[in-house]
């Protein structure tokens, strides 16, 4: 299941559940010569971080093997981070893994019509990536 988790990580890096994180400054923040006043709403765009070439090599390529070598990354935040990290993240990852295993072992699928990913502001498919799912034939021993 290690590679399955790498596929899940890479999928979440591309198509994050939460496109942005909102926070409010509790005090004045000084950042690169600028002052961000207390009470200012700050928006972190997760897709911008996940597709940043300084954080991920070849960020526009779907490459799940990167997670086998890289392990954890401070630049990967599909479930938030710190004290506000989603408490259900591990059960969500487990549910995704069970669903993927069942899907791959029991079904085949095909594109209904051509579609392509667009990364503005987060990765999506203009047509919703329409697919047709077929049960696999029973395997004979």
**Binding-site annotation, residues for heme:** 86
B/e letters for 83-106, b = 16+ CB within 10 Å, e = fewer, are: eeeeeeeeeebeebeeeeeeeeee
Residues flagged as binding site: 86
Query: Residue 18, exposed/middle/buried by CB under 10 A (0-12, 13-18, 19+)?
Result: middle
């Amino acid at each position: 299941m290690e590679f399955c988790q790498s596929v899940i990580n890479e999928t979440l890096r591309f198509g994050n559940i939460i496109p942005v994180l909102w926070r409010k400054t509790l005090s004045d923040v000084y950042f690169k010569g600028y002052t961000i006043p207390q009470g200012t709403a700050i928006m972190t765009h997760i897709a911008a971080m996940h597709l940043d070439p300084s954080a991920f090599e070849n960020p526009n390529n779907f490459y799940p093997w990167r997670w086998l070598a890289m392990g954890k990354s401070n630049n990967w935040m599909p479930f938030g981070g710190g004290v506000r990290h989603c408490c259900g993240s591990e059960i969500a990852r487990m549910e995704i893994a069970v669903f993927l295993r069942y899907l791959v072992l029991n079904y085949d699928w095909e594109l209904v019509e051509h579609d392509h990913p667009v990364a503005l502001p987060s990765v999506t498919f203009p047509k919703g990536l329409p697919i047709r799912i077929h049960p696999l034939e029973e395997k004979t021993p």
